[in-house]
Amino acid sequence: MAYNRDKVVSRTDITEHIYNEEFDLDSNVIDVYISYLRNKIDKDREIQLIHTVRGAGYILTDSHHSSRKKD
């Protein structure tokens, strides 16, 4: 996500970048690790950096985020 700052990154894109083989796309592994990252990065921040874009994926940005489509 850091390489794609301010762009929506899908769960599938993250999975394909991490795993070089087929992976169960119904798994919640990505969601769990995003939660871990949020706990480490956003825990004491007034402005959150990691945002969920419903139906699209995640975005790393320091601005307030509403619903933004994947580029």
Domain ranges of the chain: 2-60
Q: What is the mean pLDDT of residues 1-19?
A: 82
Residue 23 CA to residue 17 CA, distance in Å, equals 11
- The answer for residues whose C-beta is within 8 angstroms of residue 59's C-beta and 6 or more apart is 1, 6, 7, 8, 9, 50, 51, 53, 65, 68
For the domain 2-60, what is the CATH code?
A: 1.10.10.10
Q: Please, which residues bridge with residue 50 across strands?
A: 60
Per-residue model confidence as pLDDT tens digits over 36-63 = 999 998 888 888 999 999 999 999 988 7
Write the DSSP symbol of residue 46.
S
* pLDDT for the residue numbered 62: 81
